[in-house]
């Protein structure tokens, strides 16, 4: 049986003004996927993420998220979609003047009517979920880069989102911290059933966590491949995809 669709993209053009980075994109993200948006520099990965999160409008086409086309939806409808989504930025994007708990409580303060005590308890639980028990009152400057990413993820999970977006989650991390973050992404996906969309070019992460993907090609400005990254490696549709997934190693 096919899975329910979380994100349905059809005929999408991504770009800015008259400049098109990607045209006629068609793909689906199923509920429960760990979906990878991959490709080389300048292919439009981050811009695609901005369209999915409603930060920039599509130049053409439709983006239907949980039944709502964000390209034509009202501001209120888009806001409701955003409230059921979380995002982890490259740097973690924590507010330096707030403790980790205060950072996580911020979305709750904006979008819920929870009591301060309830928000504090939920922030504690979210930090525990990402392995940061006991760090509630630490400031971002007092923790490592990998811990900042985990705290950023805890904030992304603050409102129990249906979908969480990751923008280059391994950026700036050492290999061990990157591996630990991959494990955490898998655990959250499996335990909470959260749909996860990851923009990355890190092969180790792509193969470790991804079960579905699209490959964006800068030269043709199209989606050149779709599917499980491991299957694309076994049966690459063309040389460009093979070269990306092998870092240019010669075929054996």
What is the predicted pLDDT for the residue at 212? 97
**In this structure, what token pair is assigned to residue 123?**
């922030």
- Inform me whether the pLDDT recorded for 16 exceeds 80: yes
Q: Is the Cβ–Cβ distance between 166 and 135 less than 8 Å?
A: no
The model's pLDDT over 53-72, given as tens digits with 9 standing for 90+, comes to 988 999 999 999 988 999 89
pLDDT band at 146 (very low <50, low <70, confident <90, very high): confident
Could you give the C-alpha distances from 225 to 1, 35, 38, 125, 247, in angstroms and in order?
A: 23, 13, 10, 39, 16
- pLDDT for 249 beyond 70: no
Contact 246, 219 (CB under 8 A): no
Query: 44 by DSSP, 3-state: which?
Result: coil
Number of separate domains in the chain: 1
Which pair of structure tokens corresponds to residue 188?
A: 């959250």
Q: Is residue 187 part of a domain?
A: yes
The CATH number covering residue 81 comes to: 3.40.50.300
Its pTM stands at: 0.92
Say if 241 falls within a structural domain.
yes
Q: Is residue 9 part of a domain?
A: no
Residue 80 located in a structural domain: yes
Q: Which domain holds residue 137?
A: 32-57+74-246
What is the pairing mode between strands 212-217 and 60-65?
unpaired
Which residue from 205, 206, 247, 248 is spatially nearest to 227, judged by alpha carbons? 206
Q: Are 93 and 41 in contact (CB under 8 A)?
A: no
pLDDT greater than 70 at residue 108: yes
Percent of the chain surpassing pLDDT 90 = 76
DSSP code, position 3: P
Has residue 248 got a pLDDT over 70?
no
Integer Cα distance of 78 and 53 in angstroms: 9
What pLDDT is attached to residue 1? 60
115 is a domain residue = yes
> 114: part of which helix (H) or strand (E)?
none
**Rounded mean pLDDT of the chain?**
92
Q: Residue 33 has which token pair?
A: 């996927």
Going by pLDDT thresholds of 50, 70 and 90, the confidence category of residue 174 is: confident
Within a domain: 63: no
Q: Which residue has tokens 């491949």?
A: 225
C-beta separation of 54 from 85 below 8 A:
no
Site of tokens 């180790």: 204
Alpha-carbon span 57 to 14, nearest angstrom: 8
Is the confidence at residue 2, as pLDDT, over 80?
Answer: no
CB atoms inside a 10 Å sphere around CB 216: 25
Band (121; pLDDT cuts 50, 70, 90): very high
User: Residue 143 falls within a domain, yes or no?
Assistant: yes
81 and 68 Cβ atoms separated by less than 8 Å: yes
pLDDT at site 90: 75
Which tens digit of pLDDT belongs to each residue from 23-45? Answer: 999 999 999 999 999 998 889 99
- Whether 223 contacts 26, CB under 8 Å: yes
Residues 159-164 have a mean pLDDT of 94
Tell me what the mean pLDDT of segment 84-89 comes to.
91
Q: SS3 for 226?
A: strand
| Domain assignment present for 202 | yes
- pLDDT score, position 65: 95
């Amino acid at each position: 049986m096919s899975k329910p669709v979380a994100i349905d993209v059809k005929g999408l053009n991504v770009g800015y003004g008259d400049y098109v980075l990607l045209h006629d994109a068609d793909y689906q993200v199923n509920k429960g996927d760990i979906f990878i948006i991959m490709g080389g520099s300048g292919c439009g990965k981050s811009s695609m993420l901005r369209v999915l999160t409603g930060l920039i409008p599509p130049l053409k086409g439709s983006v239907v998220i949980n039944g709502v086309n964000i390209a034509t939806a009202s501001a209120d409808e888009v806001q409701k979609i955003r409230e059921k989504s979380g995002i982890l930025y490259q740097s973690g994007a924590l507010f330096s003047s707030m403790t980790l708990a205060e950072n996580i409580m911020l979305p709750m303060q904006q979008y819920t009517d929870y009591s301060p005590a309830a928000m504090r308890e939920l922030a504690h639980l979210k930090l525990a979920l990402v392995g940061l028990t006991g760090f509630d009152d630490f400031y971002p400057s007092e923790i490592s880069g990998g811990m900042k990413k985990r705290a950023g993820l805890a904030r992304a999970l603050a409102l129990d989102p249906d979908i969480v977006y990751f923008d280059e989650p391994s950026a700036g991390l050492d290999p061990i911290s990157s591996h630990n973050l991959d494990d955490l992404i898998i655990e959250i996906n499996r335990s909470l059933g959260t749909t996860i969309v990851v923009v990355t070019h890190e092969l180790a992460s792509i193969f470790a966590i991804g079960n579905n993907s699209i490959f964006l090609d800068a030269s043709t400005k199209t989606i050149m491949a779709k599917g499980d990254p491991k299957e694309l490696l076994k049966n690459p549709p063309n040389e460009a995809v093979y070269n990306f997934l092998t870092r240019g190693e010669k075929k054996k």
